[in-house]
Chains A and B, each alone.
Chain A
Amino acid sequence: MKFSLIKKHIVLGVTLALSASLVSCNDFLDINETPNNPLAVPPSTLLPTGLVGSAFANANELNRFTSAIMSVTAGVAGSPVAYDRYNTNGADFGNQWRFELYGGALVNYQQLIDAAERVNSPAYTGIAKIMKAYTFSIATDVWGDVPYSEALLGEENTQPALDSQRDIYLGNEAEGIQSLFDLVREGIADLDKASATRPGSDDLVYGGTLANWKKAGNTLLLKFAMQISVVEPAVARDVINAVVQANNYIVANDENLAVKFGSVVGSQNPIHTYTNVSSFRTDQMISTRFVSLLQGLNDPRLDLFVTKPTGSFVTIDNGFGGTAPVYANRSLYNTYVTGPSTAAGSAPVRLLTNWQRAFILAEAVIRLGVAGDAQALFTEGIRASMTAAGVTPAAIDAYFAANPTVVTLAGTPEQQIQQIITQKYISMFGNGLEQWNDWRRTGYPTLAPHQNAVGIDGTRPVRAQYIDQEVARNPNFPNNVYSNVPVWWDVN
């Protein structure tokens, strides 16, 4: 009796367990939605991601590379030593390509555009398109032909083809390639549209002031136009004339397209971190050549740009092979680039500036015959840069009075362009990428070869080699395009 009861219960239990498992198993198994990561996020959380990505692309490793080959910094250890001797190969800049450009700022601007469109917010798509254009220009200026029209499509195109740099800048209707100019213009147009949501503090550049983004967009058109001015002067002239006539571009230092950083660990400007904090801080110091250049010009920005812990400048020459001075004594990036000592690391990364605009227009007057006063623009640029560096108006006036040959354009148009670009080079301190872009385009400032230079053929790199990992993953990439092959807009 007792046994049979147990048996009955067991049989019943088994039957129930089996049938229950068959019936309810869909609910039982429906637990695969991740609790750890959102599947969608609002535009306000994607905009700062993109902006910081662009700032890193400009200021992190690519700045270590370009500031070294532009004789602003000199290598002491690690990669900067290689760069200083013109050595770069496909193992370099993988992180920049992957985490800062395509898989960093760019894909998140794309996500921002998609997210903002879903909530009918052209205020965000406008900024995203302007910054996407800016960031793609970094990629093409560094590597030449890069994926552009087929990029950022995810699974739809896992091996995007390369677009020529010409098509990226100028567009190609037949190929369905939108020009960087048109991408910026589309962004500016979006900013005029009604927007359901608008950026505020998430806009790490202008705090949500869209009027400034329009000025930044127009100024970016000027930068792009000047970048192609040697190879496509007519296009450049038309673009610049149109922007000048519309007269809505960056004209004040507080309108700079500059990404803000903070002063606590994890929020700091990358140049500060690799100069003063991380274990790579001993890798580079300021070059003797840069200090000598500014000393030769009596430039008041020198002390504001470069530290002198011992009371005088302690630098090494580019390509120097001996024992470097101890870290504590070295001249490094000063607070202009890294942030004030009371808020170390909080210096902004300046992507597009008022003085940059002034120098572009000054060059445009001379090179392209755009209407304007080249001398006035030239001095405006120097004055704006000095002001930003912290030189007082009185000191600027005194410098102008004491150094008339430095601040006055003279000689042939080419000599005047050399003057402009040399001052632009100084003013772009901390933005090696733009210094390199100008040097490649114009050949200025005149830079002597580095000691112990190796490179491909002993010459200063004029592009970066395609990333090994990308060459391995995407058969569209040509192999063996070395760092001595000029990009399309670099024709002289």
Chain B
Amino acid sequence: MKKSILLNFIFVFALVVQAFAQGRTVTGNVTDQATGQGLPGVSIQVKGTTTGTATDIDGNFSVSVPSENTTLVFRAIGYQAVERAVGTSSTINVVLAVNAQQLNEVVVTAQGIERDVRSLGYATQSVQGEAISQRSEPNVLNALQGKVAGVNITGASGAPGASTNINIRGITSFNGSNQPLIVVDGIIFSNDVDNSQNTLFGSQPSNRLADINPESIESINILKGPAASVLYGSRASAGVIVITTKSGRGMKGKTEVTFNSSVNFQNIAYLPKFQNEYGQGTQNNYVNNSTASWGPRFGTPGFDNVTTVWGESVPYRAYPDNIKDFYQTGKFLMNSLNIAGGDENTNFSTALSSTLQEGVVRESGFNRHSVQVGGNSKLNNGLKVGGTITYVKTSQEGATMGNGGSAFGQITRVPRSFNLMGMDHIDDITGRSIYFLAPTQNHPLWSLENEFFESNVDRVFGNLSVGYDLADWLNVTYRVTADTYSDTRRQVLRIGAARAPQGQIDEDLRTRSELNGDLLITARKNDIFTEGLNASLLLGQNINQRSRKESGVIAESLTVPGGFDNVSSGTVFTGSYENNFRRRLLGHYGQLSLDYKSYLFLELSARVDKSSTLPAGNNAYFYPSAAVSFVPTEAFNFESDILSYAKVRANAARVGRDAPEYQLQSVFSRATYGNNLASVSFPLAVGGNIPGFQIGSRIGSPNLKPEFVTSYEGGFNLGFFNNRIGVDFTYFHSTSTNQIFNVAISNASGYDTRTTNIGEMRNKGIELQLSGTPIRTSDFEWDIMVNFTRIRNKVISISEGVDNSNITGDSFIGIAPSIAVGYPYGVIIGTANARNDAGELLVNGATGAFVPGVAGEVISNPQKDYIAGITNTFTYKGLSLSALFDINKGGQIYSFSQVDMRQAGQTDVTGVDRDQPRILPGVIANADGTFRPNNIQVSSQAYWTNLGGLASEAAVFDATAYRLREVALNYALPASLISRTPFGGVSLGVSGRNLLLYAPGFPSDPEINTQGAGNIQGMDMNGIPTTRNYGINLRVTF
């Protein structure tokens, strides 16, 4: 039996052998319960002494025992400890079972290094493939929601393929990407979201982890802090998600074929509750072109029938489902086939997968097909060669969103008595929309059919590594990884679209590619200086290049009506564009790991990066980290069934981060003026085409320096009752300094921002994981897993004289996602209601409405108070049921959709006591400076309208959500049933997601962000609500 040096390193924990002068010898063999094979490196200790030994490579041992009353304790990492009384026997054979709690597991850390969890001085968390597969969720990130402490995951909308934001341990950069680095089988994997449109008005493109099929994943390990990720360099400062796909490792000579299939359905999940008592109109009058529901109550005498804008007499009644029926039942079908096999020296895998999705929004969908091949081999000449290559084709079609001129900007403005779905919406002759509610807008269905976004991604990623053991303690490996894709997009606004009445087609090609070359030299020595002190040293070098290109032809003023969506239909092409980006980085890194008797560990890491994006004098930066961990249960031989495992850990680290490309200079660009009110773009067609350039609004900085995050982390792991209860606690504290930021400056300077190093931001937080097995019998097991995260983020300073500054990105004027001193990252600055010193709302004594608001105030904070996820898993024989309940406590959401519907009298709250007068909360100022409670009665309509509109505090809602996130029921057919079939295993399951929601502060589902993945969060600018998914799953192995 041959094991790799790595495994030896991990498993050889021979304790000090101090043979007693007297006594007798007991021999035996330790085997793995699952495989029946001998287990090397099992520690065997004479209970109550420090005497002991360890098994050899085949699992055999020989130990001297003082007497017949001796008890031997067998321990191995990843296995449950076993005690045996020696008695009179001279041979003891022991079978060790894998520890179900997995407190002692091997995880993949930075640069693919596999490590024993107990040796880590930092927190990581693993999620096994089973926890995310067959969950009625095509997106890996969404499937991780609620399952990992310290990680905040928010889907952007219910649109198929919509992006998902993920932040690990909060936001650490003012302007840089705060999305973690994604590594798939060693390949740095782009999870970028390319927004080709203004995020206030566009569709929702995917972030590209959507190209990974959840069924292909063997495990995901999350490296949370800088100490864990320092070897990956700058880009890992927001954490790392290391994904390992099924590779056929450990197949021990057999080949396994796995087929997964699922059929899933989705519905729009949580529309607000509507009132169905009052119809179209205002101030209790029927007004046939009104978009509000402040009309007369249904059944009011004289209002049996009303005349519409188009002159038809129709019954005046509610259409309770006029919004619900706008959506459809979505479906998705996921199939995948995995073939994996191999032996100790060679393994291979191949996988095919297909996902076909039709969204809940008509005309929307997401399709993904992938094929993967990979393998590893140790050649006869000693070279180790491995590689994988994957091709993915992903297509997405989605609707245009946003305030005003989109289906979702109109769907909030449909009166309750308007038969939205029951009327023609297309003019047969012109193909244009028929929509009587708003002459400059379109019927929402017409918008879905004629204003859309398509994306077609072809992606190839793969790696190749060649390694060689120069000596039994020294290995050299070179690894090349590549990830490249093209995204062919088309944004179509057909003739008549509200945002481009003469039509517009943006035919857009985007490419991205990333190449990495890593040289890794690994040296390992055991028993250096003193017995039991083992060391390993890693030296590495990384060459990285990232490039992307975006080029598009924008055809405007289209000539051919109907469905001819080709740029040749256009007559004006001045919006066409081309942008190229390229950056390089050269890194050198090293890591020294020391392990003393497998209870004391020290790891020192350092990296130097040289980046192309920083000025030549400032482009090299160094950052170190140190981590220690100590396992007292191992060191002091705690012999308690109560406390079976304890580990404490601490680390300190600093990570540098470079700038985006091309930030050092001020540049010119093709000139444009205006917005959706009126606009021009150069070249201007006046006689000939007159070109025009303008100076950019950003002042470049030739003196830019890298930004840094410094972090400290401490924590402990405890296992009780043979690890049936596990506790993993972490406290972290990080400080971000020297932030590379486009800081706002007075526009009178001629510019809007200047790029510079400024500011300081702090994150403090705790992560807690609790695991427990309240019941375990031979047939039945109940496991509980709890994750809890609480992070406090605070902007400490920006720059002198600047108290707040906009976050880079699209925003409406007066609703600005910002950094503000003393507040968490990403607060929204807008117009707050005026208040007196006591904090009471001020009301105008004449009108009963609020007095004018105060601009420039922090009105919304998207940062959550805490996040918790609780997973209960029940297993009975082949039947397992797991349910994830999660809590997102606190945080606020700025919602156009909800305030729009409330202000227009559509939602249920506006129907309550509609005919009764109301009084706005607040006080009225008396002449003498005192205040009296507001007692001015206003109508319901005035009340809900005066409460505030789109650009007001009234659009801010509490985003707290208690949710039954996921339920999965799975049944594995008993072996006896399938023994005569060719199947090795068959399991059937049903799963559901987003099944129940309690959101006390929000009329719908607050898990929405129309800005997509990125630094701007907590915005619902007329987006697509979330979905509820159900599915049936089948898994067959051969």
- Report if A66 contacts B (CB, 8 A): no
Q: Which one of B612-620, B716-724, B1018-1026 is at the A interface?
A: B612-620
Whether A91 contacts B813 by the Cβ 8 Å rule is yes
Given contacts A38-B667, A94-B813, A326-B439, contact A147 B746 (CB under 8 A): yes
User: Which residues of chain A are within 8 angstroms of B460 by Cβ–Cβ distance?
Assistant: none
Whether B801 contacts A159 by the Cβ 8 Å rule is yes
User: Which residues of chain B are within 8 angstroms of A146 by Cβ–Cβ distance?
Assistant: 748
User: Which residues of chain A are within 8 angstroms of B978 by Cβ–Cβ distance?
Assistant: none
Q: Which one of B87-95, B670-678, B967-975, B979-987 is at the A interface?
A: B670-678
- Report if A471 contacts B (CB, 8 A): yes
Whether B519 contacts A103 by the Cβ 8 Å rule is no
Quick one: which of B800-836 are within 8 Å of A by CB? 801-804, 813-814, 831
Q: Which one of A28-36, A221-229, A353-361, A382-390 is at the B interface?
A: A28-36
Min C-beta distance of B1029 to chain A, whole Å: 35
Given contacts A36-B578, A49-B694, A468-B814, contact A153 B749 (CB under 8 A): yes
- Report if B499 contacts A (CB, 8 A): yes
Quick one: which of A78-118 are within 8 Å of B by CB? 89-91, 94-95, 97-100, 102-104, 106-108, 110-111
What is the chain A residue whose CB lies nearest that of B743?
A158
Q: Which one of B207-215, B681-689, B998-1006 is at the A interface?
A: B681-689
- Report if B470 contacts A (CB, 8 A): yes
Whether B750 contacts A110 by the Cβ 8 Å rule is yes
User: Which residues of chain B are within 8 angstroms of A158 by Cβ–Cβ distance?
Assistant: 745-746, 749, 754
Whether A160 contacts B695 by the Cβ 8 Å rule is no
Whether B673 contacts A53 by the Cβ 8 Å rule is yes
Whether B678 contacts A270 by the Cβ 8 Å rule is yes
Whether A14 contacts B519 by the Cβ 8 Å rule is yes
Complexed CA–CA distance, A471 and B814 (Å): 13
Whether A157 contacts B852 by the Cβ 8 Å rule is no
What is the chain A residue whose CB lies nearest that of B816?
A469
User: Which residues of chain B are within 8 angstroms of A152 by Cβ–Cβ distance?
Assistant: 748-750
Encoded as 1 (CB less than 8 Å from any B CB) or 0, chain A from 18 to 39 comes to 1001000110111111111111
User: Which residues of chain B are within 8 angstroms of A13 by Cβ–Cβ distance?
Assistant: 478
Quick one: which of B473-516 are within 8 Å of A by CB? 476, 478, 498-499, 501-502
Complexed CA–CA distance, A90 and B951 (Å): 13
- Report if A119 contacts B (CB, 8 A): no
User: Which residues of chain B are within 8 angstroms of A268 by Cβ–Cβ distance?
Assistant: 678, 680
User: Which residues of chain A are within 8 angstroms of B612 by Cβ–Cβ distance?
Assistant: 28-32
Quick one: which of A139-172 are within 8 Å of B by CB? 146-147, 150-155, 157-160
Min C-beta distance of A293 to chain B, whole Å: 26
What is the chain B residue whose CB lies nearest that of A28?
B584
Min C-beta distance of B436 to chain A, whole Å: 10
Quick one: which of B406-464 are within 8 Å of A by CB? 439-441
- Report if A234 contacts B (CB, 8 A): no
Min C-beta distance of B842 to chain A, whole Å: 15
Whether A46 contacts B692 by the Cβ 8 Å rule is yes
Min C-beta distance of B537 to chain A, whole Å: 15
Whether B586 contacts A28 by the Cβ 8 Å rule is yes
Min C-beta distance of B585 to chain A, whole Å: 8
- Report if B611 contacts A (CB, 8 A): yes
User: Which residues of chain A are within 8 angstroms of B584 by Cβ–Cβ distance?
Assistant: 28-29, 31
Given contacts A6-B383, A7-B470, contact A111 B695 (CB under 8 A): yes
What is the chain B residue whose CB lies nearest that of A156?
B749
- Report if A267 contacts B (CB, 8 A): yes
User: Which residues of chain B are within 8 angstroms of A107 by Cβ–Cβ distance?
Assistant: 695, 750-751
- Report if A60 contacts B (CB, 8 A): yes
Complexed CA–CA distance, A271 and B674 (Å): 12
Q: Which of A39, A104, A273 contacts B678 (CB 8 A)?
A: A273
Given contacts A95-B675, A279-B499, A474-B746, contact A265 B572 (CB under 8 A): yes
User: Which residues of chain A are within 8 angstroms of B662 by Cβ–Cβ distance?
Assistant: 32-34, 36-37
Given contacts A32-B661, A108-B694, A266-B572, contact A204 B688 (CB under 8 A): no
Name which of A32, A90, A94, A147 has the most chain B CB atoms within 10 A of its CB: A32
Whether A201 contacts B690 by the Cβ 8 Å rule is yes
Min C-beta distance of A215 to chain B, whole Å: 21
Name which of B468, B665, B751 has the most chain A CB atoms within 10 A of its CB: B751
Whether B855 contacts A468 by the Cβ 8 Å rule is yes
- Report if A61 contacts B (CB, 8 A): yes
Min C-beta distance of A88 to chain B, whole Å: 11
Q: Which of B439, B616, B681, B699 contacts A26 (CB 8 A)?
A: B616
Whether A6 contacts B381 by the Cβ 8 Å rule is yes
User: Which residues of chain B are within 8 angstroms of A204 by Cβ–Cβ distance?
Assistant: 684, 686, 690
Encoded as 1 (CB less than 8 Å from any A CB) or 0, chain B from 636 to 676 comes to 00000000000000000000000001101111110101111
Whether B831 contacts A91 by the Cβ 8 Å rule is yes
User: Which residues of chain A are within 8 angstroms of B405 by Cβ–Cβ distance?
Assistant: 279
Whether B685 contacts A49 by the Cβ 8 Å rule is no
Quick one: which of B308-333 are within 8 Å of A by CB? none
What is the chain A residue whose CB lies nearest that of B852?
A89
Complexed CA–CA distance, A154 and B693 (Å): 18
Whether A39 contacts B667 by the Cβ 8 Å rule is yes
Q: Which of B541, B581, B688 contacts A17 (CB 8 A)?
A: B541
Whether A14 contacts B521 by the Cβ 8 Å rule is yes
Q: How large is the interface on B (under 10, 10 to 19, 20 to 34, 35 or more residues)?
A: 35 or more
Whether B748 contacts A102 by the Cβ 8 Å rule is yes
Q: Which of A14, A45, A280 contacts B691 (CB 8 A)?
A: A45
Whether A91 contacts B501 by the Cβ 8 Å rule is no
Count residues of A near B (Cβ-Cβ below 8 Å).
105
- Report if A278 contacts B (CB, 8 A): yes
Whether A45 contacts B692 by the Cβ 8 Å rule is yes
User: Which residues of chain B are within 8 angstroms of A278 by Cβ–Cβ distance?
Assistant: 501, 676-678
Min C-beta distance of A438 to chain B, whole Å: 25
Given contacts A31-B582, A49-B682, A102-B750, contact A279 B440 (CB under 8 A): yes
Whether B470 contacts A472 by the Cβ 8 Å rule is no
Q: Which of A60, A89, A100, A266 contacts B855 (CB 8 A)?
A: A89
Complexed CA–CA distance, A270 and B684 (Å): 13
User: Which residues of chain B are within 8 angstroms of A52 by Cβ–Cβ distance?
Assistant: 671, 673, 680, 682, 684, 692
User: Which residues of chain B are within 8 angstroms of A46 by Cβ–Cβ distance?
Assistant: 692-694
- Report if A196 contacts B (CB, 8 A): no
Whether B951 contacts A60 by the Cβ 8 Å rule is no
- Report if B561 contacts A (CB, 8 A): no
Whether A474 contacts B748 by the Cβ 8 Å rule is yes
What is the chain A residue whose CB lies nearest that of B582?
A31
Min C-beta distance of B670 to chain A, whole Å: 9
Whether A10 contacts B476 by the Cβ 8 Å rule is yes
Q: Which one of A256-264, A402-410, A418-426 is at the B interface?
A: A256-264
Whether A264 contacts B571 by the Cβ 8 Å rule is yes
Given contacts A45-B692, A279-B405, contact A103 B750 (CB under 8 A): yes
Whether B749 contacts A327 by the Cβ 8 Å rule is no
Whether B747 contacts A21 by the Cβ 8 Å rule is no
User: Which residues of chain A are within 8 angstroms of B748 by Cβ–Cβ distance?
Assistant: 102, 146-147, 150-152, 160, 470, 474
Complexed CA–CA distance, A201 and B683 (Å): 12
Q: List 7 A-B contacts (CB under 8 A).
A: A56-B674, A56-B680, A100-B673, A104-B694, A150-B748, A159-B749, A204-B690
Given A28-B584, A158-B745, 4 more A-B residue pairs with CB atoms under 8 Å apart are: A99-B674, A154-B751, A264-B685, A270-B674
- A interface residue numbers (CB < 8 A to B): 2-3, 6-7, 10-11, 13-14, 17-18, 21, 25-26, 28-41, 44-46, 48-49, 52-53, 56, 60-61, 64, 89-91, 94-95, 97-100, 102-104, 106-108, 110-111, 146-147, 150-155, 157-160, 201-202, 204, 260-268, 270-274, 277-282, 323, 326-328, 346, 467-476
10 tightest A-B contacts by CB? A107-B750, A37-B667, A273-B678, A270-B678, A147-B748, A474-B746, A34-B662, A158-B745, A262-B685, A468-B855
- B interface residue numbers (CB < 8 A to A): 287, 289, 381-383, 404-405, 439-441, 468, 470, 476, 478, 498-499, 501-502, 519, 521, 541, 543, 556-557, 571-572, 574-575, 578-584, 586, 610-613, 616, 619, 661-662, 664-669, 671, 673-682, 684-688, 690-697, 699, 744-752, 754, 801-804, 813-814, 831, 852, 855-856, 951
